[in-house]
């Protein structure tokens, strides 16, 4: 098989709940008066809010319906289903950890042949899913996969409205959130000129404390964000990563049509543009090629890049053949870059919008089969670590995890910084922390390639897998 075949987005589906709430209404709903020009600074005028009749799994479900409608594949042709949402708020006062969301959706839609599990990696969740799918497609283990996320996160806004004390409050970022669902079908392309050219992700665990979402002591869930330091670290590492990936792929920095960054705030988008322009000493990034999708959407977490894509295609801004640079950032701190060239997906989606279904191009019908004899590469257990048998006096999940990981590394022949992938596969976590990934918190504790611009650094990607007792095997 051709390991250089690119991964393409065969179909995309999105869903936005119908209720739209303005930033002024969000601020006026705060218990304490917040004197801050949030709309001007964030660029967010309105956002969609679920939570009355629709929750996380519902948003994912409706995105899948839209994705399948736009695809030539049916559910039985999907070999892998990964759910990537941060939020697990699936009903009134229902937070679902087990069984995982992907198993529920597998049964509902008839993904009968699909391996299923959930991952969580904060706002980088969907790109982490794409990263895994890309690797499995290249080995021939699967032919196609669906990556889906349903983000009902504005319940954090409701908690913040009760708790926030001033515009200097670390809970202020909760007021910028919006709800949505997004789903992708991914498969190999027969044309190496289209699809994902590069996908690069890494986690700098030292900064994992800059944004943490957990249960609030006053009830509900809340997110505390050190926005200044998080943005500074994300922009610096993201800009350097983008230029490195562009150089590696042989893309000239001024030869792409769109830069799509994680949509957090207009101020952050401008900071990222300025950082890249300064590194290049050339103003290649401007409002014409940097997509700002914030005004009517807000920060939709792991779905933000794909809500932006769907909106820009619908508005005729993205064309078939366009080159896109994705700037990925998430609490953890996970940053990365993906380079993508569109096939005829924008044209097909616009035709679907007008219900004038076109015939697929001949090339897009001919998708290669998986390698009939994929090479089985042996995997060995190099080291095993456990917590001490004696009473250690702690019940904190992260402390127990650090003890086991440190014990494993002490028995290993490899130093800590040689670990390229760190996965947490447990179900429970103290204080029910869902952001950042527990693995990124552990990477920070272990100092595993955890600092930006450390010349000794290699790369570690950290994320979590949810699948009950099977999660450990999924990770393997």
Q: What is the DSSP string of 422-463?
A: EEE--S--GGG--BS-HHHHHHHHHTSS-STT-TT----EEE
Is position 170 within any domain? yes
Is position 289 within any domain? yes
| Confidence (pLDDT) at 358 | 41
Measure the CA–CA gap between 114 and 344, rounded to whole angstroms: 26
Measure the CA–CA gap between 422 and 420, rounded to whole angstroms: 7
**Which domain does 273 fall in, by range?**
7-365
What single string gives the DSSP state of each residue in 167-224?
TT-TTGGGGGB--EEEEEEEEE-S-TTSEEEEEEEEE-GGGGGGEEEEE-TTSSEEEE
Q: What is the mean pLDDT of each run of 10 residues along the chain (476 residues)?
A: 77 97 97 94 96 95 96 96 96 87 96 96 98 95 97 97 93 97 96 93 96 93 94 92 92 91 95 92 92 96 97 95 96 96 94 60 38 60 90 84 95 95 92 93 95 79 94 92
Is position 405 within any domain? no
Query: Domains in the chain: how many in total?
Result: 1
| Confidence (pLDDT) at 389 | 81
Is position 357 within any domain? yes
Is position 266 within any domain? yes
Is position 110 within any domain? yes
CATH number where 278 lies: 3.40.47.10
* Neighbour count for residue 326 (Cβ, 10 Å): 25
Helix 266-280 and helix 227-249, axial crossing angle in degrees, nearest 10: 50
474 touches 465 (CB < 8 A): yes
* Neighbour count for residue 25 (Cβ, 10 Å): 11
Phi-psi region of 93 (alpha: psi -120 to 50; beta: other; left: phi over 0): left
Q: What share of the chain is helix, strand, coil (3-state, %, to 5)?
A: 35, 20, 40
Phi-psi region of 420 (alpha: psi -120 to 50; beta: other; left: phi over 0): alpha
In terms of Cα–Cα distance, which of 313, 301, 404, 306 is closest to 351? Answer: 313
Residue 93, classed as helix, strand or coil, is coil
276 touches 242 (CB < 8 A): yes
Is position 437 within any domain? no
Is position 422 within any domain? no
| Confidence (pLDDT) at 1 | 39
Q: Which residues pair with 89 in a beta bridge?
A: 95
In terms of Cα–Cα distance, which of 302, 303, 307, 280 is closest to 292? Answer: 307
In terms of Cα–Cα distance, which of 262, 66, 48, 293 is closest to 153? Answer: 48
| Confidence (pLDDT) at 371 | 44
Q: What is the pTM of this model?
A: 0.92
């Amino acid at each position: 098989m051709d390991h250089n075949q690119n991964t393409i987005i065969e179909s995309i589906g999105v869903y936005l709940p119908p209720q739209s709430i303005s930033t002024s209404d969000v601020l006026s709903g705060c218990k304490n008066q917040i004197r801050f020009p949030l709309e001007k600074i964030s660029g967010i005028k309105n956002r969609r809010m679920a939570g009355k009749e629709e929750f996380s799994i519902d948003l994912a479900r409706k995105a899948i319906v839209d994705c399948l409608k736009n695809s030539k594949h049916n559910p039985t042709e999907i070999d892998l289903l990964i759910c990537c949402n941060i939020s697990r708020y699936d009903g009134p006062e229902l937070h679902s950890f087990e069984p995982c969301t992907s198993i529920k959706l597998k049964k509902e839609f008839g993904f009968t042949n699909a391996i299923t599990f959930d991952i969580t990696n904060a706002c980088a969740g969907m790109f982490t899913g794409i990263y895994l799918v890309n690797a499995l497609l290249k080995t021939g283990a699967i032919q196609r996969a669906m990556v889906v996320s349903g983000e009902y996160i504005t319940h954090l806004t409701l908690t913040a409205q009760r708790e926030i004390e001033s515009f200097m409050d670390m809970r202020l970022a909760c007021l910028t959130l919006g709800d949505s669902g997004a789903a992708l079908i991914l498969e190999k392309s027969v044309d190496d000129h289209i699809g994902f050219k590069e996908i690069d992700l890494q986690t700098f665990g030292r900064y994992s404390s800059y944004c943490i979402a957990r249960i609030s002591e006053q009830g509900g869930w809340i997110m505390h964000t050190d926005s200044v330091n998080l943005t500074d670290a994300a922009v610096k590492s993201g800009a350097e990563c983008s230029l490195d990936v562009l150089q590696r792929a042989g893309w000239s920095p001024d030869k792409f049509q769109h830069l799509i960054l994680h949509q957090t705030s207009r101020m952050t988008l401008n900071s990222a543009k300025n950082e890249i322009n300064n590194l290049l000493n050339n103003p290649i990034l401007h409002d014409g090629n940097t997509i700002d999708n914030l005004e009517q959407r807000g920060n939709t977490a792991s779905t933000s890049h794909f809500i932006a894509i769907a909106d820009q295609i619908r508005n005729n801004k993205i064309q078939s053949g366009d080159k896109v640079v994705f700037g990925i950032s998430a609490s953890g701190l996970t940053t990365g870059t993906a380079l993508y060239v569109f096939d005829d997906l924008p044209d097909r989606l616009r035709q679907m919008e007008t219900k004038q279904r076109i015939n697929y191009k001949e090339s897009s019908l001919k998708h290669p089969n998986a390698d009939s004899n994929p090479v089985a590469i042996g995997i060995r257990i190099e080291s095993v670590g456990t917590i001490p048998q004696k009473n250690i006096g702690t019940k904190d999940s992260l402390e127990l995890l650090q003890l086991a990981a440190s014990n494993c590394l002490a028995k290993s022949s490899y130093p800590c910084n040689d670990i390229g992938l760190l996965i947490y596969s447990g179900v429970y976590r103290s204080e029910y922390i869902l952001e950042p990934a527990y693995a990124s918190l552990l990477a920070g504790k272990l100092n595993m390639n955890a600092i930006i611009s450390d010349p000794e650094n290699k790369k570690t990607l950290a994320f979590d897998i949810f699948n009950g007792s099977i999660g450990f095997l999924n990770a393997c």
